[in-house]
Amino acid sequence: MSATQSPAWLPRGLDIPALLLISAALLYMFGPVYKALSSTIWATDEQGHGPIIFAISVWLLFSARHTLAELQSKAAPVAGYAIVVFACLMFVAGVSQDIWIFVMTAQILLLAGITLVFKGWAGLRLIWFPLFFMLFMVPLPEALVASVTAPLKMAVSYVASGLLYNMGYPVGRTGVMLTVGQYQLLVADACAGLNSMFTLEALGMLYMNLMKYTSAARNITLAIVLVPIAFIANICRVMILVLVTYYFGDEAGQGFVHGFAGMVLFMLALVLMLLTDKFLGLFFDNSRGQQQ
């Protein structure tokens, strides 16, 4: 690639024409996709984390730009172009059939294929985490969400109502319907569903990537423990909504506090994750890899 004079934020020796061409192609393909997502799926409580995941992924890729550009590695054009062609076919099928999983996965594969074409497998290993992190913004299949969310809501409702009842509150439960005083609350998917656990798992993965622990056992253990942490956070969210409704009425429970309880969920999950990480440090190696 020929070296050109470029701004400080661009890596040295970058092929500007190739970069502009690839960027224009990606913008042409996925610009309308993100516009549609912003007014449909990403506008829902269940998938509201999508823009955050996307922004973090872009930031991670941008942070690795200098290292990637300076990487001396052998290109893998055969594998790269094969993945690019497959990704384009998946994109066309996803757009034509309105299958968001295909469309979003195609973007990840395209970025992986382009990396292989220019920087080979070493380049792909360098940016594997940002591409992997993008998987968390891929909408899950509705059948999977429905099959997993139902028992999760039942479990969260059972534990939350039991704890509040033992604390002396007049709480009853019928399935996922909670009764507190004169009010009835339905535990929605956003309060106890698979997507909230998916989001919290993404938060944990990002934390582990930033910490760069060299112990694989420690990272795997923390990733597994994040599942019950997410479950506990969901229980706390439901309990907060029940108590707000009990003391301040149904309008308060469904208003600003309902959204604020979601923020409390993530703050609580973050605190529990940090405490768990400190605890794991007593048993696992605390050494870290080099920062990029």
Please give the positions annotated as active site: 191, 237
Yes or no: say if 184 and 37 are a contact pair by the CB < 8 Å rule.
Answer: no
Classify 164 as helix, strand or coil: helix
CA-angle at 116, arms to 114 and 118, nearest 5°: 75
Q: Measured between alpha carbons, how far is 22 from 115 in angstroms, rounded to an integer?
A: 11
**Which of 31, 18, 108, 25 has the alpha carbon at shortest distance from 69?**
18
How many beta carbons lie within 10 A of that of residue 25, not counting itself? 12
Q: Measured between alpha carbons, how far is 190 from 193 in angstroms, rounded to an integer?
A: 6
Strand ranges for the chain from DSSP E: 171-174, 177-180, 183-186
Tell me the chain's radius of gyration from C-alpha atoms.
23
